[in-house]
Amino acid sequence: MPDGLVAVVKRDCSTCEMVAPVLRELAAAKPLTVYSQDDPAFPPHVKVVDDTNLDVSDALDVEIVPTFLRVADGKIVGRTQGWKRDEWRSLSGVAGLGAELPEFRPGCGSLTQEPDIAARLAARKSEMQMSSRRIQLGEREDPIETMYSRGWSDGLPLVPPTPERVARMLTGTSRAPADVLATVPPDLAACTVEKVAINAVMAGCLPEYLPVVLAVVEAACTDEFNAHGVLATTMAVGPSIVVNGPIAAAIGMNSGVNALGQGNRANATIGRALQLVIRNVGGGKPGGVDRATLGNPGKYTLCFAEDEAGSPWEPLAVERGIPAGTSAVTLIAVEGPRVVVDQKSRTADSLARSLAGCLRTVWHPKLAQTCDVLLLISPEHARVFRADGWAKRRLRDELITLLTSPGDELVAGYGGCAEGMPPRFAGEHVPKFSPDSLWFVHAGGSAGMFSAIMSGWARGPGGSQPVTRAIKPWA
């Protein structure tokens, strides 16, 4: 940037047209550089630098034209926008400048602020930092069909990850695109923030969802969650994502009516983004490492927010050690939800027995100590527990007691059923679950006495454990 006076203008601006004589006056008296955003011949009778590519305007963070600056030793030492006669005189050092013009006239929006152009400029800057390989399509190629044919899709149409869209997605985080976020199984590929952003675009996320997606990917790629095992098992499980804290409301997540169903963009696309990262970065594709015998619809996406405001209990993330008021995600590998129907219980004891009867069938009625379970307690059922003053601990303890069975009835072969526990459990009393394997979350519509059970995959070595991670603001 040359020292002296600098003006940035565009012909399509009435204020710039008005100050054109002032610029001619300045050019005759002072070192002046004029950059034009839309017409290198404007203003006339002044030497103009072509800035129709907007590189200079973008570098100068021009928001309004005309912008008038004073530069000394290569640094901007003064700036004003629009026409403010006193400020132009002060910056230029010309006392009588613009005497014939009004004292003030607002400027016009810089071309750099127009949405499409701003996105293109952001993409241009981001491309300098991004390292992903560009895929050039033929003029007649359909991007959506091409992405499907190349195996990037989960079976549903994808949003093409153009540089402009990826740049816009990256505005959701302050992390550099090249920052390595995680090592993604099964290929153990290094996954950058940029790669997550690309898959978030394809999934249909908005930029404000990106901090949640980043936390989800980090949680999924831990040894505790064991995404490789969750992917490779023949059991029909996949990641479920529970979002807690203020970010859920801020990005419009659904924790109420149809919380596990369709219709909410954040719920649908955050979970989908994780699955696409596992597929496209980690190489986990059905029929490859993904060997699920049946699978379940939750392997497209299973993500929802907890209804904390209406809950009688502390949020799931708080129960798992996250400070109250902190946004967080919890991942649990689960099969599809099964509904618990109880429209008659009006006491906590009766409703607990209903839950226990349904929980007995998790995995198999004769198998115990197998997995973690996520119980979704609906508002109508939660009111029953609230009315009787049952905390989560009381409900958990009651369920463990109700689900403790004679080992003789659980061993393999008992009752003519070959499935069951090893013979060493004979003669013992065996709880179906351990205290740290039952987790409760409050969600769902306010009408309907239905809750749900989402049973997990194997616990212990080689299995999968629930993982909770705080969501870092703008992380």
Residue 225: both structure tokens together: 């969650």
pLDDT in tens, 24-57: 999 999 999 999 999 999 999 999 999 999 999 9
Q: In the chain, what percentage of residues exceed pLDDT 70?
A: 99
Over 90: is that where the pLDDT of 131 sits? no
Q: Taken in order 442, 443, 449, 452, is the CA torsion positive or negative?
A: negative
Per the domain annotation, does 276 fall within a domain? yes
Per the domain annotation, does 127 fall within a domain? no
Per the domain annotation, does 348 fall within a domain? yes
Residue 201 C-alpha from the chain's centroid: 10
Residues 211 and 304 in one domain: yes
- The Cα 370–Cα 110 span in angstroms is 62
Surface-to-core class of residue 378, CB atoms within 10 Å of its CB (0-12 exposed, 13-18 middle, 19+ buried): buried
- The Cα 218–Cα 196 span in angstroms is 11
C-alpha angle 415/429/460, rounded to 5°?
95
Q: How confident is the model at residue 441 (pLDDT cuts 50, 70, 90)?
A: very high
pTM of the shown model:
0.83
Mean pLDDT, rounded, for 78-99: 95
Q: How confident is the model at residue 134 (pLDDT cuts 50, 70, 90)?
A: confident
Q: What is the CATH number of the domain that holds 70?
A: 3.40.30.10
Residues 104 and 242 in one domain: no
Q: Of 92, 113, 134, which residue is a domain's last?
A: 113
Single out the residue of 151, 220, 232, 218 nearest to residue 186, CA to CA.
232
Over 80: is that where the pLDDT of 125 sits? no
pLDDT in tens, 197-250: 999 999 999 999 999 999 999 999 999 999 999 999 999 999 999 999 999 999
Residues forming a β-bridge with 81:
67
Residues 79 and 180 in one domain: no
Contact 352, 399 (CB under 8 A): yes
Q: How confident is the model at residue 175 (pLDDT cuts 50, 70, 90)?
A: very high
Residues 94 and 158 in one domain: no
What pLDDT shows up at residue 1?
72
Neighbouring CB atoms inside 10 A of 396's CB total 20
Residues 75 and 197 in one domain: no
Per the domain annotation, does 139 fall within a domain? no
Task: Supply the mean pLDDT for the chain.
Answer: 95
Residues 162 and 41 in one domain: no
Q: Of 70, 93, 113, which residue is a domain's last?
A: 113
Lowest-confidence pick of 135-144, 150-159, 283-292: 135-144
Residues 167 and 92 in one domain: no
Per the domain annotation, does 132 fall within a domain? no
Residues 60 and 173 in one domain: no
What pLDDT shows up at residue 126?
65
**Total domains in the fold of the chain:** 2
Residues 222 and 334 in one domain: yes
Residues 260 and 409 in one domain: yes
Per the domain annotation, does 316 fall within a domain? yes
pLDDT in tens, 338-360: 999 999 999 999 999 999 999 99
| Residue where the block lists tokens 């990826």 | 166
Per the domain annotation, does 425 fall within a domain? yes
pLDDT in tens, 411-438: 999 999 999 999 999 999 999 999 999 9
Residues 225 and 290 in one domain: yes
Question: Distance of CA 369 to CAs 95, 186, 338, 364, 432, Å?
Answer: 86, 27, 19, 11, 6
Residues 104 and 172 in one domain: no
Q: Of 66, 95, 113, which residue is a domain's last?
A: 113
Q: Give the domain range for residue 453.
A: 147-470
Give the SS3 label for residue 406: strand
Per the domain annotation, does 142 fall within a domain? no
Q: How confident is the model at residue 475 (pLDDT cuts 50, 70, 90)?
A: low
